[in-house]
Amino acid sequence: MPVLAQLLELTLSGREPDEKIQFSASGAKLEWLAEGVMQVSPPQGQDKGLDLVLSAGVHGCEVVPIKLLDSLIKAIGRGEVHPRARLLLMFCNPPAMRQGVRRVGQDLNRLFCGKHAGGESDEARRASELEALVAAFFDEPDRRRWHYDLHSAMRASKLPQFAISPWVPGREITSESLRRLEQAAVDGLLLQHKPSGTFSAHTAARHQAEAFTLEVAEAPDDTWPACLDELLQAARDWIEAVEPVRIGQSGSLMKFRLAREIVKYSEHFSLLLPADIENFTPIPPGMLLAEDENGLSWVVEERDARILFPMMDVAIGERAGLIVVPLD
């Protein structure tokens, strides 16, 4: 197996490979671009006109998506997966990955879409570097552009796997996009309603990519949920530019919209939810969710509301949870 197919090991050890270009067992070209970043080009004559970005490790403690991407990279190196798309494969936050923490300094996933501008932190510089690498990758015209940014929510969920669609003016999600998500065993889709600073929001807004943040299932006690195997197979199909097979009626994927954000405004903020509450847990009208200084409180007003991403340990000014409701 080529050394470059051990991209995760190179990234965690902080080593730069001696050979920057190698070839997989099936003839795909592997090219090391920067720490944690590799480009893969199909063998001559096998390019299907798709540019695909797969990223993981924006938050260093989210181990499952890092393992998933590592598994795909090694399968490419061994020649078990035959790329027919151009690939940009990215372990985004090496310092946090090495320490196994969500972030070392700033939250990297709040610094895209140019929000790193003027920043001097390591995370701001990394966000700028990742944006530049993506811009160079998406430079070729008249090609399809996809980006799946792999995360894990770090808590159990009523919907084991779900995706987040960044808000872009006039963007419509195609039936093919939904079918790809369904075949990746995605159970729910949250449609954002305003701009954000996430990595997938950047590629969607700046490069018109079909981009999603994909929250993969957790694997407690070293178990491996079957839906992760389905996701791996779907990702292999993306890499090989295989379109999803139409099997019966689609539409099993539940759609949600964001109703309100819970934001931590001061050190007096208190999140009044069980620490182990699952994502997409129903929250009844009248329930008190959080309190902050000056009598500020968040009480459920919406019908059929559910809680998503409740998190006490966030910086002041960041969201500590989302109140979402079914789209229909």
Binding site members for Zn(2+): 59, 62, 151
Q: Which of 241, 219, 239, 242 is nearest to 229 (CA)?
A: 219
Contacts of 327 (CB under 8 A, 6+ apart): 191, 255, 256, 257
176, 215, 218, 301: which is the annotated catalytic residue? 215
Contacts of 66 (CB under 8 A, 6+ apart): 8, 56, 57, 91, 97
**Full 3-state SS string of 132-185:** HHHHHHCCCCCCEEEEEEEEECCCCECCCCEEEECCCCCCCCCHHHHHHHHHCC
**Are 84 and 47 within 8 A, CB to CB?**
yes
User: Which DSSP symbol is given to 85?
Assistant: S
4 DSSP β-pair partners: none
CA–CA–CA angle 121, 207, 142 (5° rounding): 145
How do 144-152 and 210-216 pair as beta strands?
A: parallel
The C-alpha atoms of residue 115 and residue 93 are separated, in whole angstroms, by 17
**Amino acid at the residue 307:** I
Known binding positions: 59, 62, 151
Is 293 known to be catalytic?
A: no
Catalytic residues: 215
